[in-house]
A and B are shown apart, each in its own frame.
Chain A
């Protein structure tokens, strides 16, 4: 370490043709990964633009109802919701952008506005939940793998319990408990119906899927010479973990983060679909599928659209994750199977 400057503890990229710029160059050559990055960026922009569209084009909010309202289409007044409760289909630009994709049901809310705001909720939940999962998982994996002994036993056995608990049952159970009563930890109170409840549930449920493979990787890294050298120079556990091990884990962590976002989005939509995630009247793509599926026979678009948005987002993240993995560590055995936590990073079964 005295001869060659190591990357900073935060893992900042080195100058010159370091591993990060090599990876970036590889990623740039991968057209699929670039296209999916572009697609994901478009979806994020679409969701971020929600207030702009709502105020300037649709002139309505995501939860504003228009049950008895009429819109003018080509000089002709039309009901948003007809007397039988059937919502209008897409008007495209017929009403100047109002009800671009039609109304969302008997409440007559603007489907396009809800789709954009729903995207905000879904993206926010999955990004933050994945951030929590990845950070907590990486730290737990690092601690367990570095210290071994009783900290490893404690962490690994706790994760085993979460792992053995049927994932969806656990998530639904937590969702029910918290959606009904909210959560109170010391001075922090999360009211029921808060968007932070699904975030915390998803964050907890998926931790084990990141922690296990990180632990496996740390177990093999800690035997390497550079760790021995650092210890010989008097580096303590904190210094070894943050300065020596963590920089070697970044590529794994980044790939996991991408895949975690994708999985969190799928779980969020399932929870919201079952009524224990995002609470009505707030929109998320999952709740929109739930309310849309009641009308699937007469207005299939209300189910298809939010589901297609989820599919596109998750697809772009999965392809991007694959591309990142190839770019960051082309010889790695870290492939799909590792993301289930079934196989350690060195290829042995967990």
Chain B
């Protein structure tokens, strides 16, 4: 177990290193992204560009620049080219919005995903199953940004039922917080509800054919008890894994939803930095996002091993 965790940690660090190098390289091959030129503005003089190059170290060899930047990111001193704000502080500011968005949406999609999946499996083949299947597959097929635009138009601009975006702190006004986040939550959750309910349904259908279910029935347990205690419980294991991974991915920033609802979280910050080709925040956000992906990947593996004794750790390194 300890060996597995150590190997896993080393793998995580290696992947994070590679991800940051990749991000750095992508942005150093952009032909017209010379940051000194951009900072100097339209009326730049060669002297100004040279002094900016000197000040920010753009003249140094790329590996040196990379090391300096990573050192700054990890040390909390990284400063954006755009307006010299501290990137790490800006990311920390974005955390409440991004985390509220993902965790709330995760609660929503988990509850409805399990409910729909359970009903679908219990009534497999019936009209309820068919209806829920249509709902689920439609949910999987919707372009998220399109759904956001339509919900915003009809529910907030036209009907005035919801605010048109923005983030209100949880500790400031809890009710406004939830009210402002309701549409973003729904938007993010729709796709996942479809996805989770389909996965749960197929897991439950597989489980229903297992011997332990027949044993439970033979013991004379009620159908409901067999379904919830035996079938559902065992089918939830892969859902736990999925949840960990999805939340990990989202914590790095739900770019589209954050930008459309103007939540000003990490994803929106990343998107704005991408548009301005400002490297320091992009690097920091990529590393931040990749960290959560890798972390939750590892956590999901460990959780899986605890929940399912048949899994032997060490079979899937990295």
Chain A residues with a Cβ under 8 A of chain B: 156-157, 160-161, 163-169, 172-174, 176-177, 180-181, 262, 266, 269-270, 273-274, 286, 289, 293, 296-297, 300, 303-304, 307, 310-311, 314-315, 318-319, 322, 333, 335-337, 340, 342-343, 348-350
User: Chain A nearest CB: distance from B245 CB in Å?
Assistant: 6
B289→A176 contact, CB < 8 A: no
User: B304 contacts the other chain (Cβ, under 8 Å)?
Assistant: yes
From A165, A270, A340, give the contact of B143 (CB < 8 A). A270
From B142, B255, B297, B318, give the contact of A172 (CB < 8 A). B255
Chain B residues in 8 Å Cβ range of A350:
316
Chain B residues in 8 Å Cβ range of A343:
238
Chain A residues in 8 Å Cβ range of B242:
337, 340, 342
Residue of A nearest to B301 (CB): A349
Q: How far is the CA of A69 from the CA of B54 in the complex (A)?
A: 55
Indicate the member of B30, B141, B252, B311 with the most A CB atoms within 10 Å: B141
- Mark B131-174 against chain A: 1 for CB-CB distance below 8 A, else 0: 00000011011111110011011100110000000000000000
* Chain B residues numbered 284-304 whose CB sits less than 8 Å from any CB in chain A: 285-286, 289-290, 293-294, 297, 300-301, 304
B253→A173 contact, CB < 8 A: no
User: Chain A nearest CB: distance from B112 CB in Å?
Assistant: 16
Chain B residues in 8 Å Cβ range of A348:
311, 315-316
B32→A181 contact, CB < 8 A: yes
User: B53 contacts the other chain (Cβ, under 8 Å)?
Assistant: no
* Given A160-B318, A161-B19, A266-B143, 19 extra CB contacts under 8 A: A156-B318, A157-B15, A166-B253, A172-B274, A177-B27, A177-B29, A270-B145, A289-B146, A293-B149, A303-B153, A307-B143, A314-B140, A318-B141, A322-B137, A336-B199, A337-B199, A337-B242, A343-B238, A348-B316
B143→A289 contact, CB < 8 A: yes
A296→B149 contact, CB < 8 A: yes
Is chain A's interface secondary structure helix, strand, loop, or mixed overall?
helix
B290→A165 contact, CB < 8 A: yes
Known: A169-B255, A169-B274, A296-B153. A311 touches B143 (CB 8 A): yes
* Chain B residues numbered 268-286 whose CB sits less than 8 Å from any CB in chain A: 270-271, 274-275, 277, 282, 285-286
From B146, B153, B289, B293, give the contact of A297 (CB < 8 A). B153
User: Chain A nearest CB: distance from B137 CB in Å?
Assistant: 5
Indicate the member of A176, A289, A319 with the most B CB atoms within 10 Å: A176
Q: How many residues of B contact A (CB 8 A)?
A: 65
Is chain B's interface secondary structure helix, strand, loop, or mixed overall?
helix
Chain A residues in 8 Å Cβ range of B294:
164
B153→A342 contact, CB < 8 A: no
Known: A181-B31, A318-B140, A340-B242. A172 touches B271 (CB 8 A): yes
User: Chain A nearest CB: distance from B147 CB in Å?
Assistant: 8
Indicate the member of A165, A167, A303 with the most B CB atoms within 10 Å: A165
Q: How far is the CA of A84 from the CA of B300 in the complex (A)?
A: 56
From B29, B140, B158, B290, give the contact of A164 (CB < 8 A). B290
- Mark B240-277 against chain A: 1 for CB-CB distance below 8 A, else 0: 01100100010011011000000000000011001101
Chain B residues in 8 Å Cβ range of A296:
149-150, 152-153, 157
User: B180 contacts the other chain (Cβ, under 8 Å)?
Assistant: no
A177→B30 contact, CB < 8 A: yes
Selected A-B contacts with CB under 8 Å, 20 pairs: A157-B318, A163-B293, A164-B293, A165-B23, A166-B293, A168-B255, A168-B256, A169-B253, A169-B255, A172-B274, A176-B30, A176-B277, A180-B32, A273-B256, A304-B150, A311-B138, A311-B142, A311-B143, A315-B141, A337-B242
Chain B residues in 8 Å Cβ range of A318:
137, 140-141
A311→B318 contact, CB < 8 A: no
User: Chain A nearest CB: distance from B269 CB in Å?
Assistant: 11
User: Chain A nearest CB: distance from B24 CB in Å?
Assistant: 11
B289→A335 contact, CB < 8 A: no
User: B16 contacts the other chain (Cβ, under 8 Å)?
Assistant: yes
B249→A167 contact, CB < 8 A: yes
Chain A residues in 8 Å Cβ range of B150:
296, 300, 303-304, 307
Known: A165-B290, A169-B270. A289 touches B245 (CB 8 A): no
